[in-house]
Amino acid sequence: MLLNQFLLLGAILFAIGVYGVVARRNAVLVLMSIELILNSVNINLLAFALRNGGDPTGHTFALYVIAVAAAEVGVGLALVLLVYRNRRSIALDELSEMKG
């Protein structure tokens, strides 16, 4: 097992996630893409934990990331719901009130 095989898998997932964030218009799909990014980070954390001889620090932070991701999805979906209720649409490119 090489360290790099895991890291490269993480990198690929990360890039795919970034593509999803940029390209997707539907807010729920953008949230899913963010989940991809977070998972790629976790793979990196655990790979490095193993590389450092089973350092539990990596595991700890992987768990923290999972918890943060859960919170993020909760709030994110609540936001999406609110937007939907107000505008009957969750297309992100229509949400441009913040433009200067």
Partner 1 sequence: MLAASGLVAQNIAFGIVALIMIVGALRVVTTKNVVHAALWLVLVLAGAAAQYLILSAEFVAITQVLVYIGAVTVLFLFGTMLTRAQLGRATDLNNKNWALGIPVALLLLGTLVYVLIDSFHAEKLVDDPKDVPNVTTQQISDSIFRPYLVPFWALSFVLLAALIGAIVLARKD
Partner 2 sequence: MIATAAPGWFLEHAYVIPLIPAVAFALIIAFGKRIPDTRIGRYTIPGGGSLIGVASMLGSLFFAAGAALQWIQYTDGENYVAAVRKSWVWWQSGGIEIGLGQQIDGLSVMVLLLVAFISTLVQIYSLEYLKGDRRYTHFFASLTLFSAGMLVMVLAENMVQLILGWEIMGLCSFMLIGHWWEEKANSRASLKAFFTVRTGDIGLLVGTAIVGLSAQKWITANGLQDQYSGFSIEGISRWALAGDSQYKSVLTWGAVALFIACIGKSGQFPLHTWLPDAMAGPTPVSSLLHSSTMVVAGVFLVARLYPVFFEGLRILDTNVNLIAVIGGITIIVAALLAFVQTDIKKVLAYSTVSQLGYMMMGLGVGAWTPAVFHIWTHAFFKCCLFLCAGSVAHSGSHHSFDMKKDMGGLWRKMPVTFVTWTISSMALAGVPFFAGWYSKDEIIDIAGGNQYWVFFAIGLAGAFLTTAYMTRATYLTFFGKARGAAAGIHDENHSDAHAPAPSAHGAADAHDAHDAHDAHDSHAGPHESPWLIKGPLVILATLAIIAGLINAPAFKIFKFEEWVEPKAMPVSLTGETIHEGSARNISVGAFGLRTSSEGESERKPVAAEGDGHSPTEGESGAEEHSAGYPGSAIEEGHLTGDCGTPGFVPAAGTTCYAPGVIHHEFEWVKALPAFLLVVLGFIISSAVCVTLYGKKRRPLAGLTERNIIARGLYKFLWNRYYLDALYEGVIVRGIAHPLARAMYWLNQNVFDGIVNGAGRSGRKVGEITYKYVDQGLVDGVVNGSGAAARGTGTALRPTQSGKVSQYGALLFAAAALAALILVLVNS
Q: Which residues bind partner 2 (CB under 8 A)?
A: 18, 21-25, 30, 57, 92-93, 95-100
Q: Is 90 in the site for partner 1 (CB under 8 A)?
A: yes
Query: Coil, strand, or helix at residue 8?
Result: helix
**Contact (Cβ atoms closer than 8 angstroms) between residue 43 and residue 10:** yes
Place of tokens 């993480």: 10
**Contact (Cβ atoms closer than 8 angstroms) between residue 26 and residue 93:** no
Q: Which does 95 bind (CB under 5 to 8 A by kind): partner 2, partner 1, none?
A: partner 2
Nearest-approach distance from CB 1 to partner 2, in angstroms: 25
CA distance 100 to 20: 25
CB of 1 or CB of 21, closer to partner 2: 21
CB of 1 or CB of 98, closer to partner 2: 98
